[in-house]
Structure 1
Amino acid sequence: MKRKTRSAAATPALLAALIFLVALNLRPAIAAVGPVLTRIGEDLGWGESVLGVLGAMPLWAFAAVSPLVRFVTARLGADRTILAALLVLAAGDAVRSFGGPAGVWLGTVAVGAGIAAGNVLVPVIAKRDYAGHVSMATGVYSACITTGSAIAGLTAAPLADMLGGWRPALALWAVPPLVVAALWSIRVMRGTMSSDDAQESDDIPVSIDSSAGAAAVEAAVDSTPLWRRSMTWWVTLFMGLQSAAFYTMSNWLPSVVTAAGFSDATAGVHLFVFQSLGILSGLMIPALMQVRGNQVCAAMVSSLPMVVAGLGWMLAPGLSLLWSVIGGMGQGAALVVALTLISLRGRTSAETVALSGMAQSIGYLLASVGPLAFGTMAELSGGWTMPLVLFTAFAAAQCVVAMLAGRDTARRR
C-alpha cells in the first residue's frame, strides 16, 4: 500500500508560515558584514585581502555543507534540522563577535553552515506545506530572503554607531534566529512532523541545493553523463558568475561608496537599494523568459545592467546611487534566470536535481572568487579602480555565458 504523503493541511497555517520567518534569517548575518568590513579590518589589523577571504568563507561553507544536509535530515527530519540550523546560526553570530580573531573565522563558518542548511530545506518545506500554492510560496520566501538581506545592509553601520562598534552590531543578528528557533520548536513539540520522520529522506533529494550524486545521475533520455554536456557547464557558470557579482558587491560596495566620499550610513542606503530592488526585478524578468522560445533575452537583460553598474562605479563613483539602482535590478533578475535555467535544462526530475546540485555547489565555489579577488586587488593596487575593472570583466563574461546558457539546445537534439 502506498504511503500517504504529508500535505499542507497537516500543518496549522500559523506554524506553516514560520518557514517565511526562517527565510528572513538566511542572509542578514552575511549582508551585515559589508557595511562594517572596513571597521573590522581597522580593529583587527587586517588588509583587504584577508577581508576578501572573510567575505568568501560563507560561500565556501555553502558549497561544502549543502550536499551534507540531506544526510542530517535523513536522521533528524527536516523540521528538527531547521531548528538545529537556526541555533548554529545564532551561535555563529555570537562567536564571530565575541570570540576574538579566531572567533571571527569560526563564527563565520558556523554562520555559513547554518544558512546552507536553510538554503537547502526552506524550498523543500515550503513546497511540502504549500503543495497547492508552490509558486506563491516560492515568491514569498524569495522576497523574505531579499528583504532580510536588504534590512541588514541598511542598518549595519547605524547599529555599529549606536551600539559602540561592529561586534555588538553583528552580534545583534543572533537574536532573530533565536526567536524564530523558539517559535519553530513549537512545530517540533506539537508533532506537526509525521511520526515517521523517514519520509523526510524521500523529500530532501529534490532540494535545489543537494548535490550528492550529481555527477553520477544521467538523464533517461540521453546516455551522455550530465557533467559531460556543455549546457551543464554554461548553466553552472551563469549561476556562479551572477552569485559572484551579488556577493562581491554585498561585501565591498560600502567600502567603494565611502571611498568616493559618502558616509557609512549613506553607503548602507546604497547597499540597501542594490539588494532590495532585486525583489522587483525578480518578479518582472519571467515576462522575458520565453522570447523567441529561449532564455537568451532574459539572460542578457539581467546580465548587462551589472556591466553598466561596474563601469559606473569605476568611472563616476559620485553617481553611486544610480549604479546601485541599475546593478540591483540586474542582480535580482539574474538569480531568477539562473534558477529557471536549472529547472528548464533538466529533462527529467532526477536530472534536474543533479543539474541543480552541480550548478549551485560548483557555482558557489566560483562565486567565492569574487569577494576574495576584489579585496586582494584592492590591497595590491591601493585603490578601487583595478578591483572594479576585474568586477566589470566578470560581469562581461556573464553576458557571454548568458548567450550560451540561454539557448534551448534540447530542441535541437
Structure 2
Amino acid sequence: MTAREIARTSSGQGLLVFGIMLIASALRTPITGVAPMLGMIRETSGISAAEAGMLTTLPLLAFAAISPFAAGLARRYGIERSLFTAMLVVATGIALRSTGPLWALFVGTGTLGAGIAVANVLLPSLLKRDFPNRVASLTGGYAIMSGLSQALASTAAIPLAQLPGSSWHLSLAATLIFPVAAVIAWGPQLQMPASSEQEASSMHDRRHLWRSALAWQVTGFLGLTSLVFYVIVGWLPSILAEAGYPAATAGSLHGLCQLAIAIPGLLLGTAVKRMKDQRAMTIGVALTTCLSLLGLWQLPALAALWIALFGFGAGAAFMLGLSFVSLRASHSQEAAALSGMAQCLGYSLAAAGPPLAGFAHDATGNWNLALGACGVATLLMAILGGLAGRARTI
C-alpha cells in the first residue's frame, strides 16, 4: 500500500469527498449567478445585449484557453495543490468583479473563469485516480451540489440587489462564499503525500486522443451541451422578461432551472454505472432538452414546465458528458488529457453562443432565432451522444 493510500485510509475519504462537493459548488455559480443581473447591469452601464453576453462568454473563453495547461499544472504541483490554487483564483476574480468599475467586472469575470477551467479539467482525473469504481455516482453527487448552489444564487440574486442601499454588485459578491468554503475544506488535502504516479497526461496520451473518433465524439457532445446550456441559462431572465414575467419572477424561475439541473444527479448517478452503455439515456436527455426549448419558444405561458424540463435535460447531459470523460478513458492520465481536449475545444464552441444569441436578439428583436438554433444543436447532441455513449474506451 502506498503512502497516499495509507493517508487516504487513515484520514478517511469522507473529507476528500466533502472537499470535492464544495469545489463543485463553485464551478458554475459565479457564472450563472450573473444572468438575473444582466438587466440591471445593462441599465446602469449602458452596454448592449451582445456586450452583456460577453459576461457569460468570458469564462468560457478562459476555459478554452486554460484547459490545455491544467494537466501540466497537476504534473508539476500535484492535483491537490492545483485545485486549491484554482479556488483561490476563482475567489479573487469574484472579489475583483464586485468592486464597481466596468473594467473590473469584465477582468474579474475572465479571472474567475481561469480558476474554474483548472478545476473543471482536474476533477474528472481526481475521480478516476482515487475513486475508479465510483466515478458515475460521485459525478452525479457533484452535479447535485453544483445545481443546488446555482439555484440558491439565482433565487437570491434579485432580492439581494433590491435591498436598501444595495445593487447588483452585492449579488455578484455573495457568490464569493462558494470558493471560500471550498478553499477552507480543501486545505487538509495539501498535506497529502505526493503521488508516485504521473498525475497528468503524457505527450503520447494527447497525440493518441486527437486521432480517436471516440474522443472527438465526447468532445462534441460536451461542447454542444455547454453551448445550449450557457445560451439559455445566460439569457433566460431576459427571455422571460420579454415574455412578460417580472424580474423577480424571472429570477425565481432561473433558480428553478438550476434546481432542476441537480435532479439528474440524484436519479441517474448510480444508474449510469449499472448500464451496459449510456446511448439510450444520452439520446433521451438530448431530445428532452429539445422539447423544452420548443415549448419555451411556442408556449412561454408554461415557462415553469419548460424550464424545469430544460434543467433536467441539460443537467443530465452535463452529468453524462463529465462521466464520459472518466468512463471512456483507460486511466487517470488519459482522463486528464481527454478532459483538457474536451473542455478546450468544447468551450471554444460554447463561447460563441451567448454573444451570438445576444446579437441575434438585437438584430431580430426577439429570441426566436436563438431558441431555434439551440433546438437544432440538441439534435446534434443526440447523434454525438449516441456515439459517445457506447461502452468503449479510447
TM over 0.5: yes
Decide whether the 8 Å contact of 1:9 with 1:129 is kept in 2.
no
Q: Which moved more, 1:53-62 or 1:348-357?
A: 348-357
> Do structure 1's residue 203 and structure 2's residue 203 form an aligned pair?
no
> Relative to structure 2, which stretch is displaced further, 139-148 or 397-406?
397-406
Question: For this pair of structures, how many residues does the alignment match?
Answer: 390
Aligned ranges for residues 366-385 of structure 1 at < 5 Å?
366-385=349-368
- What is the Cα deviation at residue 354 of structure 1? 3.9
- Structure 2 contact 63–114 (Cα < 8 Å) conserved: yes
Deviations 1:57-78 (A, max 9, x none): 1111112212222333344433
1:89 aligned onto 2:85? no
Whole-Å Cα distance in 1 between the matches of residues 141 and 88 of structure 2? 23
Give yes or no for contact 1:96–1:103 (8 Å, CA) kept in 2: yes
Higher Rg of the two aligned structures: 1
Match of 2:9 in 1: 9
> C-alpha separation between the residues in 2 aligned to 1:200 and 1:317?
55
SS at match of 1:376: helix
Q: Is residue 171 from structure 1 mapped to residue 162 from structure 2 by the alignment?
A: no
Quick check: 1:326 aligned with 2:309? yes
C-alpha distance in 2 between matches for 1:166 and 1:243: 25
Residue identity opposite 1:203 in structure 2: E
1:119 positional shift: 2.0
Q: What is the letter of the counterpart of residue 217 of structure 2?
A: W
Task: Give the structure 1 partner of residue 298 of structure 2.
Answer: 315
Letter aligned with residue 386 of structure 1 = L
SS in 2 for 1:203: coil
> What corresponds to 1:149 in structure 2?
150
After superposition, residues 231-242 of structure 1 pair within 5 angstroms as: 231-242=214-225
Contact 2:225/2:381 (CA < 8 Å) preserved in 1?
Answer: yes
Matches within 5 A, 1:71-82: 71-82=72-83
What letter matches 1:9 in structure 2?
T
Cα pair distance change 1:21/1:407, threshold 3 Å: closer
Shift of 1:399: 2.8
1:221 matched to which residue of 2? none
Please, what TM-score do these two structures have when normalized by structure 2? Answer: 0.86
Extract unaligned runs of 5+ from structure 2: none
Give the whole-Å Cα distance in 1 for the aligned partners of 2:244 and 2:196.
Answer: 52
CA distance in 2, matches of 1:154, 1:78: 33
The residue matched to 2:159 in structure 1 has which SS? helix
- Of 42-51 and 156-165, deviating more is 156-165
CA RMSD, Structure 1 to Structure 2 (Å): 3.1
Deviations 1:75-115 (A, max 9, x none): 44333333322222122112112151211121011110121
Q: Which has the higher contact order (CA 8 A, sep 6+)?
A: 2
Structure 1 contact 212–357 (Cα < 8 Å) conserved: no
1:187 CA drift (Å): 5.0
Q: Mark the CA change 1:363 to 1:200 in structure 2 (over 3 Å): closer, same or farther.
A: farther
Deviations 1:247-293 (A, max 9, x none): 112211111111111122211222222222223224444647888x6
Is 1:193 equivalent to 2:192 in the alignment? Answer: yes
Equivalent of 1:248 in 202, 208, 231: 231
C-alpha spacing 1:140/1:295, structure 2 compared with 1 (3 Å): closer
Q: Secondary structure at the match of 1:383?
A: coil
Q: Distance in 2 between matches of 1:228 and 1:13?
A: 36
Percent of matched pairs sharing the same residue: 34
Matched residue type, 1:6? E
